[in-house]
Amino acid sequence: MNQIQQSFLSNLQIQDRYLSTSKLSGANKTSNTENVSFQDILAQKAQETAADAPLKFSKHASNRLADRNIELTRSQMDRLAEGTQKAGAKGIRDSLVMVDNLAFIVNVPNGTVITALDQTQADEKIFTNIDGAVIA
């Protein structure tokens, strides 16, 4: 506490010192972002996050994959993720994504695979509670 009192005589001195150092370190940042709206930054961050986030598998989907002995290759996972991104770009919330002979129901905003099955389990070939489909 004595060091603080000896270094600065008032709160204004502390404020001036803080502002002067932060202005120097952030000088380039403010000039680049002055004309960018909060909405633009938020949309960009959401898009980056969605693109970078790997798909998650719900407990139900994980159980279905194990029960049905479905093992996904790296290529199939990439195509599933790409199909999910395409569905999101079209505004689809709950999508059927077809990869080879596999069908996945994906909640697109959450990036979560809800269930998975192959053609032999799709007896009726009817999918409900989706608002779009992608063949990847």
How far is 79 from 92, CA to CA, in rounded Å?
A: 17
pTM: 0.61
pLDDT tens digits, one per residue of 50-62:
555 689 999 999 9
Ranges of each domain in the chain? 2-35, 54-135
Q: What is the pLDDT of residues 82-96, one digit of tens each?
A: 999 999 999 999 999
List, for the chain, all residue ranges whose pLDDT scores fall below the cut of 50. Answer: 1, 5, 22-31
End-to-end CA distance of the chain: 64
pLDDT at residue 39, as a whole number: 78
Task: Determine the topology of domain 54-135 in CATH.
Answer: YaeB-like fold (3.30.2310)
* DSSP code at position 45: H
C-alpha Rg value of the chain to the nearest Å: 25
Give the integer Cα–Cα distance in Å for 99 and 58.
18
